Structure 1
Amino acid sequence: MRARREFRNRRDIEVAVLDALVDRHDEGMTVFELRAAVDADIDTIEEALSALKDENLIVVEEADTGVLIHADERVVPDPSEAVEEDASLFERLRERFGL
Structure 2
Amino acid sequence: MRAKPEYRDRDETEVAVLDALADRRDEGMTVFELRSRTEENIDRIEDALAALKADGLIEVEDNGERTVILPGEGVVGESLPDEDESILDQIRKLLPL
Partners of 2:66 and 2:54 lie apart in 1 by 21
2:15 is matched with which residue? 15
2:40 is matched with which residue? 40
Corresponding pairs, count? 81
1:72 is matched with which residue? 72
Query: Structure 1 segments of 4 or more deviating over 6 A?
Result: none
Other structure's SS at 2:77 match: coil
Q: Percent identity?
A: 53
Partners of 2:27 and 2:65 lie apart in 1 by 12
> Quick one: which amino acid aligns to residue 19 of structure 1?
D
Other structure's SS at 1:53 match: helix
Shift of 1:11: 0.6
1:24 and 2:24 correspond: yes
Question: 2:57 touches 2:75 (CA, 8 Å); kept in 1?
Answer: yes
Shift of 1:24: 0.4
Shift of 1:64: 3.5
1:61 is matched with which residue? 61
> Quick one: which amino acid aligns to residue 57 of structure 2?
L
Q: Runs of 5+ in structure 2 lacking a partner?
A: 82-97
Given the two structures, how large is their TM-score scaled by the length of structure 1?
A: 0.76
Q: Runs of 5+ in structure 1 lacking a partner?
A: 85-99
Partners of 2:65 and 2:28 lie apart in 1 by 12
Partners of 1:64 and 1:10 lie apart in 2 by 32
